Structure 1
């Protein structure tokens, strides 16, 4: 493992600097009452159900909630004690704020363990704490990844100190807890630990105790056995009739290219793409500039993670964007692999560190501004909530385009706050047995019971499950719902809301009370959808035979 000499630490290598950078990572999340992450309100609604499920019988008429041993329980478990101390919303906010903080500490700690001191180039990796997966709201995954980075740093430290027995004892429970948080973090820790062990075992050859790469591979596998216990949990989790969800969409190269392009995606496309180009320029400079070298340990880790990214399908066990989530961490590990050569002047290293600090500060400032704007939008639309009585049944329709706009409205799951704050039914919950504890059982809602029924467009979108707003307004079962909430709606025929009384309005957004439950006739489906339905029916007949 590469380590520096005994000279005095520079300002960016001190502990106070690491603490300052970690705390600074929380700045964008200080002001928003609800962290403006696309999926987070939906997760918060699930947490609410978990907390009141045994005490509120009407909730059990709408949702089924069963605790089970699955690799996706990070924040679900943490909110139980923290909500008693701070309330649900503040507890969630504090946990989410810890994710970028832990991501920064993990990256800097790994860099220090591998290089001996934090290299100036490592500061350029810190903005990746606010990546597209974070903005999308994959919070259990992101928490597990932040923990995985810190656990990998601990793994490296114990190896450097020769405390292998202690490492074995510690990482059996730690890896199990990480798996419980989210399977992905545990898998990434395994990849990072294995690659580090390969390098360590190969380097032992220098003093006559190592071996060639094949032998190092075998020894690395044996060294990582303390991380293997969750494989037993995986067998129990993914077996049984209750598990649903397909693994599909392999080798979608165009999507993988787009995920890389969107690593820093937030609000302003030019700013986000330009920032990403800076990071790639640092990598290119690290390859071409003789004043910069790299750690074989972390380069191998980055290559292993890149291979996983390329091989992963887009959908794993029904969970979409599985490969996309890994892209920012491949780049982050590659960036912290770089370091200035020992011969570089202190002034040049300090200049490089200052540039990295300015870049980090600029990204934090942009994210803080962006989140403030999203928070204003959240505050505006949530003024509708007092107009809905507790226990109401609300169907929400949130407009979006068929094409993917760079800046999301981040309103797709804000209807879930009806459940969080008003204990009302909402139709935006995910319902996939085996992927999480909550499934939807409200049969009266029919095709408008769960996600993605809340997403509407101005027309039918090929390859998507979204419906046009005109179809949804005509087809949703009026006898199953008490209110209709339209957010960012595309244009629609006013006759479709006949019998629905506005009780709140803000711009184009409107909350409608269902007064007339007479069901209008649904508009016809397009021909290509009728053909797909006919083909599915034929397949069903063939299967029955």
Structure 2
């Protein structure tokens, strides 16, 4: 397995020209141009945290509703970047520009790795482009996907410096680079370490001719410049971190996450595409396939892909309280395998056809995402019109009607309520709380039990968690004296309260969504 392919650079073609990587990176931005706020599931919740982070110390956000305490942890990417970006562009545009940078950076990282390993981009390299909009990105795990984009570019630099024989310079550069990527997201730093270690093993074997044991040992030594963040992790974990690590070897979930790696809008297209790519990677890893149309796998990325597969299998679903830990890794396992592929054929027509197909597939994904993102954004802004009727610094209880999680395409509304924090500096329920693992905590005691995530999430009875409330029970039970408004996001009219003397309808979104002013209640004593 991993027979070394002949050290022959792939044949040249239009897909190997310098403009090709830049072109793919630029068109990757297109779906995010129109939306004022990128319609990613968790992003608006994070934006609520950024507004608290940036608030004036005298704002009710910090004096009454929340507290924000900086701490050293491996999950600070956008939390740090938004400070200068907001001063220049404002919060919403600053976040949008950061998010817009992630897909092109992801692509440049993957394609530069491929070019460094192969010597020239193979015709199959463009097949990796859809991973710029992988499922973790769609979920809005923004610190993680930003960290991974930086880690991929850093790995390309790691390979380049190794090829140039600049090992000492590489060690000096990656002392700070590793720390920066860990600060952005600890998982991304871990993936960079696995990729670098895999590459060093192969380099020791193929370039320096060392034995297997010596290659492992020297691979560890060469990766030591990436190790200092381990000390930061020890300090982090020794603090007030209460998140658990659990749900190991959940095979059903791992299967779903793998086939959902490119989960976006069109289930059949997404599953067929990821299935074909997984099959190609397996052909490459096994060095099998038909001689004229088959593929090989470069040893450097073949070993890296295998190491990431092992990591994916061993990784639990929840790490330090952070859910979907293994799901976040799944797309990058496949992507590293894809860029390791090189067609066996040298026929220029066949190679051009492969590259054209790859470009066409990415074009379909960009067109599809552009259309759907525009639709999501329009609907979200329609629901956000309710905020025009909300007083600044008010207290809002938000409920979001959502479909079951099993639905392939998410409506991207789970954290839309947090825009009340962003645009009105209001208190709203739905922020994440985890001592030691989140910078923000909720201090507004009157809303206890109706303040944190997921109190805002309302799903159908058939897929609701056992103790989860319905819209009706939440409306009936929430402490009215603790809030000024009830905001029903995406809620159909049959869920709107009627004949309630404490709720006055002041805005409705037609068939979906309503805002009520809370009246005739005794104030909090």
TM-score, with normalisation over the residues of structure 1? 0.90
2:196 to 186, 193, 197: 193
Partner secondary structure for residue 243 of structure 2: coil
Question: Within 1, Cα distance between the matches of 2:122 and 2:167?
Answer: 27
Task: Map Cα deviations across residues 356-396 of structure 1 (whole Å, 9 max, x no partner).
Answer: 11111111111111111111111211111110010100010
Mapped contact 2:383–2:490 kept (Cα < 8 A): no
Mapped contact 1:178–1:186 kept (Cα < 8 A): yes
Larger CA deviation: 307-316 vs 227-236: 307-316
Partner secondary structure for residue 491 of structure 2: coil
TM-aligned CA deviation for residue 456 of structure 1: 1.5
Mapped contact 1:470–1:496 kept (Cα < 8 A): no
The residue that corresponds to 1:396 in the other structure is 398
TM-aligned CA deviation for residue 6 of structure 1: 7.3
Is residue 2:517 matched to residue 1:513?
Answer: yes
Mapped contact 2:417–2:430 kept (Cα < 8 A): yes
Question: Within 2, Cα distance between the matches of 1:23 and 1:447?
Answer: 45
TM-aligned CA deviation for residue 4 of structure 1: 6.0
| Cα distance change, pair 415–57 in 1 and its aligned pair in 2 (3 A) | closer
Write the mapping of 1:90-489 to structure 2, written as runs, cut at 5 A.
90-206=93-209, 210-211=210-211, 213-240=212-239, 242-283=240-281, 286=284, 287-291=288-292, 292-341=295-344, 344-402=346-404, 404-459=406-461, 463=465, 466-489=468-491
Mapped contact 1:460–1:466 kept (Cα < 8 A): no
Task: Map Cα deviations across residues 499-529 of structure 1 (whole Å, 9 max, x no partner).
Answer: 201111012310111113279xxxxxxxxxx
Partner secondary structure for residue 513 of structure 1: strand
Task: Map Cα deviations across residues 295-336 of structure 1 (whole Å, 9 max, x no partner).
Answer: 111011111111111111111111111110100000100111
The residue that corresponds to 1:540 in the other structure is none
Question: Within 1, Cα distance between the matches of 2:507 and 2:307?
Answer: 53
Question: Within 2, Cα distance between the matches of 1:396 and 1:228?
Answer: 44
Partner secondary structure for residue 488 of structure 1: strand
| Cα distance change, pair 404–464 in 1 and its aligned pair in 2 (3 A) | farther
TM-aligned CA deviation for residue 57 of structure 1: 4.4
Mapped contact 2:9–2:119 kept (Cα < 8 A): no
Task: Map Cα deviations across residues 159-181 of structure 1 (whole Å, 9 max, x no partner).
Answer: 00000010000000000000000
Mapped contact 2:501–2:519 kept (Cα < 8 A): no
TM-aligned CA deviation for residue 2 of structure 1: 7.2
Question: Within 2, Cα distance between the matches of 1:427 and 1:438?
Answer: 13
The unaligned stretches of length 5 or more in structure 2 are: none
| Cα distance change, pair 3–145 in 1 and its aligned pair in 2 (3 A) | farther
The residue that corresponds to 1:525 in the other structure is none
Q: CA RMSD in A?
A: 2.0
TM-aligned CA deviation for residue 294 of structure 1: 1.1
Question: Within 1, Cα distance between the matches of 2:378 and 2:464?
Answer: 33
| Cα distance change, pair 128–464 in 1 and its aligned pair in 2 (3 A) | farther
Is residue 2:48 matched to residue 1:49?
Answer: no
The residue that corresponds to 1:523 in the other structure is none
Mapped contact 1:53–1:65 kept (Cα < 8 A): no
Write the mapping of 1:13-52 to structure 2, written as runs, cut at 5 A.
13-52=16-55
TM-aligned CA deviation for residue 75 of structure 1: 0.6
The unaligned stretches of length 5 or more in structure 1 are: 520-545
Task: Map Cα deviations across residues 395-440 of structure 1 (whole Å, 9 max, x no partner).
Answer: 1000124552112111110111111011011101111112121111
Which structure has the higher relative contact order (CA within 8 Å, separation 6+)? 2
| Cα distance change, pair 230–3 in 1 and its aligned pair in 2 (3 A) | farther
Mapped contact 1:399–1:488 kept (Cα < 8 A): yes
TM-aligned CA deviation for residue 8 of structure 1: 7.6
| Cα distance change, pair 365–4 in 1 and its aligned pair in 2 (3 A) | farther
| Cα distance change, pair 181–337 in 1 and its aligned pair in 2 (3 A) | same
TM-aligned CA deviation for residue 274 of structure 1: 2.7
Larger CA deviation: 43-52 vs 258-267: 258-267
Mapped contact 1:2–1:115 kept (Cα < 8 A): no
Partner secondary structure for residue 395 of structure 1: strand
Question: Within 1, Cα distance between the matches of 2:522 and 2:348?
Answer: 77
Mapped contact 1:392–1:424 kept (Cα < 8 A): yes
Mapped contact 2:11–2:346 kept (Cα < 8 A): no
How many correspondences in the alignment?
A: 513
2:497 to 488, 494, 497: 494
TM-aligned CA deviation for residue 58 of structure 1: 4.7
